[in-house]
């Protein structure tokens, strides 16, 4: 079945550091890929998505590129801020209105 493996946390970085959170997936078809973020005390929010190979999703300075050849969708940000502290989930779905399969989440803490 489908699965998502993401970098284990927690991850602690200093403000303005470069961020990478690794995510790889296993799927039977051609999934859409997502990064969701969960800020303290809030619900899951979609951060970015990519629906086909070589697409780059981007939002709030975060980027991730759908790499079919390496089955990866790594999350990157060039300069993190304290406000980026949250739990980040990589996820996939096999199509529109299909269930999401999530990774285990990576807790990110940014220190000033």
Torsion of CA 59, 64, 68, 71, to 10 degrees: -130
Nearer to another protein, 60 or 99 (CB): 99
State in angstroms the smallest separation of the CB of 80 from another protein: 22
Return d(Cα 111, Cα 97) in angstroms, integer. Answer: 38
**List of residues contacting another protein (CB under 8 A):** 4, 32, 36, 42-46, 49, 51, 89, 91, 93, 96-97, 99-105
Nearer to another protein, 18 or 30 (CB): 30
End-to-end C-alpha distance for the chain, whole angstroms: 41
Nearer to another protein, 29 or 79 (CB): 29
State in angstroms the smallest separation of the CB of 60 from another protein: 16
CB 31 within 8 A of CB 92: yes
Residue keyed to tokens 């799927």: 27
């Amino acid at each position: 079945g489908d699965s998502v493996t993401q970098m284990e946390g927690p991850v602690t970085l200093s403000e303005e550091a470069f961020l990478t959170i690794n995510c790889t997936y296993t799927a039977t078809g051609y999934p859409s890929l997502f990064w969701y973020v969960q800020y303290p005390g809030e619900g899951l929010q979609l951060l970015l998505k990519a629906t086909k190979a070589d697409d780059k999703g981007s939002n709030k300075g975060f980027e991730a590129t759908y790499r079919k050849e390496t089955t990866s969708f790594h999350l990157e940000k060039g300069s993190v801020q304290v406000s980026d502290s949250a739990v980040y989930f990589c996820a996939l779905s096999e199509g529109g209105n299909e269930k999401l399969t999530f990774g285990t989440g990576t807790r990110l803490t940014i220190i000033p």
